[in-house]
Amino acid sequence: MLNDLGIPFRVVAAQVQEIPRAGEQPAVFSKRMAQEKARAVSQQYPEDWVLGADTVVSLGKRLLGKPDSLREAKKFLEALNNRTHEVITSFCLINQALKKALARSVYTRVTFKHFSRREIDWYLQTGEPLDKAGAYAIQGRGSFLVREIKGSYTNVVGLPLTEVLETLEKNAGFKLGEGAEGIIPQEIEARNPKLETIPNDQNHNG
C-alpha cells in the first residue's frame, strides 16, 4: 500500500515467533507482535526508522489467525458467518539511535453477510483464505463476504495508512512526496526518512 503512495521502503523479514501466550487478548497479542517485529529488525538497522505491524481478527475474545488448513479456514468462516468481528492492526515505529519507540493500535468492525455452505466451499477452493488472518481477504475475492465495515478499510487490508502516515509525519519528519529510504519488517512497507519495514504476514489480512 505504501508503494501506491510512492513511498520508498525496504522490506526486511523479522525472525519472531507469532504465538499467543496463554490467556493473551487479541489486541495485546497484536501490539506485542508489532513491537517484537520492529525491535528485531531495528537491531540490524539502528540508524533507520523501522516500522513493524501485525493484524489479527478478533471474534469476542477469540483470536483468529491464519488457518493452518482448509478445514480450519472453514471453521473460521463458519464462525464469522452473519456476525460482526473486529480487525485489529497494531504498528510500532522505532529508531534506536534516536531512542524513539511508538506503538498504536487501530480497530475496525467488520460485519459479514449470511453466506451458504456452497459459497464457503467455493471460496475455500480459491486458496485465498489460507494465508489470511480470519481466513479472508477484503481486498480480494473475500470482499463478497463483507456487508459492512465501520472504521479504516486499509486497516482491514493490513496497514492503517492514515494513522501510519500521521505517526511518521509527527515523529519521523516524514513528508508525503519527499523520498527518503526506510525499513519495514517484511510485512509492511515504508521508506522515507530511512524507514525500514517488516512484512505484516497478515497483510490481512499481517
Per-residue pLDDT, 200? 66
| Confidence at residue 94, expressed as pLDDT on a 0 to 100 scale | 94
State how far the Cα of 137 lies from the Cα of 166, in Å rounded to an integer: 25
Calpha distance 164→72 (Å, rounded)? 32
In a domain, 161, yes or no: yes
What is the DSSP-derived secondary structure letter of residue 39?
H
C-alpha grid cell, residue 102: 511508538
In one-letter notation, the amino acid at residue 92 is: C
- The number of folded domains in the chain is 1
Instruction: Flag whether 205 is in a domain.
Output: no
Taking only the tens place, the pLDDT of each residue in 52-72 is 999 999 999 899 988 999 999
Instruction: Count Cβ atoms within 10 A of the Cβ of residue 171 and give its class: 0-12 exposed, 13-18 middle, 19 or more buried.
Output: middle
Cβ burial of 13 (10 Å; 0-12, 13-18, 19+) is middle
CATH of residue 44's domain is 3.90.950.10
In a domain, 183, yes or no: yes
Q: How many residues does the chain have?
A: 206
> Residue 84 falls within a domain, yes or no?
yes
Q: Tell whether 206 is covered by a domain.
A: no
Residue 71: per-residue pLDDT: 97
Based on the residue annotation, tell me whether 54 is a catalytic residue of this protein: yes
Which member of 54, 121, 131, 201 is catalytic?
Answer: 54
Measured at the alpha carbon of residue 32, what is the angle toward residues 164 and 184, in degrees to the nearest 5?
40
Tell me how many degrees the CA angle 179-34-189 measures, rounded to the nearest 5: 25
Give every residue of the chain whose pLDDT is below 50, as ranges: 186-194, 202, 206
Domain coverage including residue 143: 3-198
Q: Would you say residue 204 lies in a domain?
A: no
For residue 188, what pLDDT is reported?
40
Identity of the residue numbered 61: K
The string over 180-199, giving b where at least 16 C-beta atoms fall within 10 Å of a residue's C-beta and e elsewhere, is: bbbbbbbbbbbbbbbbbbbb
